[in-house]
Structure 1
């Protein structure tokens, strides 16, 4: 590769997306892969021209490239994008970058964002996995910490734990995940903390865990975390109220959609549970609670600071999934209006049960693609 070709990390790119900077991206992957999953942002302009169409030069795209803006080139793993970026640079463009690690690296990046202060003392952090739409959390209070819905990449979490001098005392999963591999058990074992999982989701797990039940409370420093049984996405799905300020909803309720009930093949059985959770259990909660979901579907759900959060009272006014009066219509929408199943979702569920133990590269391949946990 020419020394003139510059590179940019996915961390640097993620910060630009969150800051709503204008970004031009050339995606050199196959069109099928691009159509399934791509980098998105409020000010992202992206074109797709497969790498093999540029082997003889950049003439096929010369009229599509901007002359006065940076050009970022991405591929699957970072190799082809270096070649294409070099071609563009040699054609006279000055501000050209290859995105290091490609879409695989984009899929794994976690961006930590401080959500706010806790009234009993402490903070709550949201980790935005911008390439997958996954969200995970760290509650910190008086030197202790709790993780919720941890992803398998632990480095970013551990950096924050070390920076804040936090002892990890609790690790929770809101449910048995089907779209990404949980890092909850791994980080719990590493830091000698109990790992909590709803037992109705854990009937087939092969490892030891601590049960979390409706109404259970746990103290983390000076903060109380209360569990609320909230089935519908899975039969064991459990939400958490943190310090009477935040409602962590897992994959039951999102900012602009609601959870799908079909990832364990039980859509017809779980629709009633989903409706009861959304229309009864959640409606009885304080409207000032700030919803922190385990996923988001679109960059449009992101706040100006990069966080994904909104008061539940606002969602009851704005989220269509919370405003379907007819039981029949609700059932129809959440059983018929579903996106494709997540990639490798059955293998991911079995990994999270401990039934199979894929290596790191297999885990990356299993998670490639967008999250699909919501009803459209």
Structure 2
């Protein structure tokens, strides 16, 4: 049978609905080990394409011939070639991922979180290939987007589909792992862009300060800027409470980890802030709040339909980063056991400050790689 192409959206649909998915990744071994497509029912195999130039015979004992196989490479070219070779070798259901890992990194999967009191809805946009999470609060014809990715057309199209106008965009902090689309989206929608002022001291553009006591009103929904000061990942990191039920934690608290304090080069300075936020400020909040973070690190954090969320009280029971009683041990954990820093994070921070304006293709290259915003206890 002939090889077919599969789009990132079609592949995402399979993964979030836990369909068995066999991936043949033909990138180099080091690229595969650093960053690959994952899911609860994903089986991944790696064989660099240059090992297959003379034929795919060695794959015949490793891969089933009668099941769907998705071939993946960096940009979509090598996977096309290998996919055609597999089809010629009588593998029956072979697909090549359109655009490769670059396109996979950019796909956003919208997931409905819940309906809101008084009408309206809350949506989470899951960036499966990057581990990023962003949000849309829609109410009475208006919408706010929180922690937007640079692919702003996704939010514009979604807003149009559900019949709302984007009036606010918010970044919970100055991002270092991905390029924010918040300012661009606000300008395109003629809305207002909000950023914590402590993270905005070096920005080159106009913004509306995200500060305590200045809650956002979206249609009939009030977005509480509370607790305004939840520093630790950055000095200005800010949390939002929506509908008295949902806590948007940015990069401070995740489902299975906590935020790292070093991406502005101030880990030692910010450790105390991070601990104060996690061990005091958040503990004053209701245990019933549903935590909605800005990132996830592991596929097991994906729930029904791909939703990433957890009850705050449950995290205080299960999240290892919230259960280090000794302050010295906590400091050691978040300064000595840090994972590698995100790809091009310094350039990404400068881009998000407006100090540099890379071309579109360079922006894509800067973002390549997995989420690395977390400390795992």
Q: So what's the TM-score if we normalise by structure 1? A: 0.98
Take 1:167 and 1:88, find their aligned partners in 2: how far apart are those partners?
A: 47
The correspondence for 2:207, drawn from 188, 194, 209, is: 209
Gaps of 5+ in 2: none
> Which residue number corresponds to residue 372 of structure 1?
372
Aligned-partner SS, 2:63:
coil
Shift of 1:216: 2.4
Shift of 1:268: 0.3
Take 1:192 and 1:154, find their aligned partners in 2: how far apart are those partners?
A: 13
Take 1:25 and 1:128, find their aligned partners in 2: how far apart are those partners?
A: 20
Deviations 1:164-215 (A, max 9, x none): 1111111110000000000000000011111000111111111111111133
> Which residue number corresponds to residue 165 of structure 1?
163
> Which residue number corresponds to residue 9 of structure 1?
7
CA RMSD of aligned residues (A): 0.9
The correspondence for 1:64, drawn from 62, 67, 72, is: 62
> Which residue number corresponds to residue 222 of structure 1?
220
Shift of 1:243: 1.4
Aligned-partner SS, 2:258:
coil
Matched, 1:353 2:353: yes
Deviations 1:38-92 (A, max 9, x none): 0001111111100111011002322111123111100000000000000010011
Matched, 1:77 2:75: yes
Matched, 1:20 2:37: no
Shift of 1:293: 0.2
The correspondence for 2:108, drawn from 107, 110, 131, is: 110
Is the contact made by 1:214 and 1:238 (CA closer than 8 Å) also made in structure 2? Answer: no
> Which residue number corresponds to residue 174 of structure 2?
176
Deviations 1:100-134 (A, max 9, x none): 11000000000001100112321000000000000
Is the contact made by 1:120 and 1:243 (CA closer than 8 Å) also made in structure 2? Answer: no
> Which residue number corresponds to residue 333 of structure 2?
333
> Which residue number corresponds to residue 126 of structure 2?
128
Relative to structure 2, which stretch is displaced further, 337-346 or 116-125?
116-125
> Which residue number corresponds to residue 271 of structure 2?
271
Aligned-partner SS, 2:123:
strand
Take 1:181 and 1:272, find their aligned partners in 2: how far apart are those partners?
A: 27
Aligned-partner SS, 1:229:
coil
Gaps of 5+ in 1: none
Shift of 1:94: 1.3
Shift of 1:32: 1.1
> Which residue number corresponds to residue 253 of structure 1?
253
Aligned-partner SS, 2:259:
coil
Deviations 1:10-31 (A, max 9, x none): 1000110001111111000011
> Which residue number corresponds to residue 101 of structure 1?
99
Aligned-partner SS, 1:355:
coil
> Which residue number corresponds to residue 86 of structure 2?
88
Matched, 1:240 2:240: yes
> Which residue number corresponds to residue 285 of structure 1?
285
The number of aligned residues is 374
Aligned-partner SS, 1:357:
coil
> Which residue number corresponds to residue 50 of structure 2?
52
Take 1:340 and 1:270, find their aligned partners in 2: how far apart are those partners?
A: 18
Aligned-partner SS, 1:34:
helix
Is the contact made by 2:65 and 2:90 (CA closer than 8 Å) also made in structure 1? Answer: no
Aligned-partner SS, 1:356:
coil
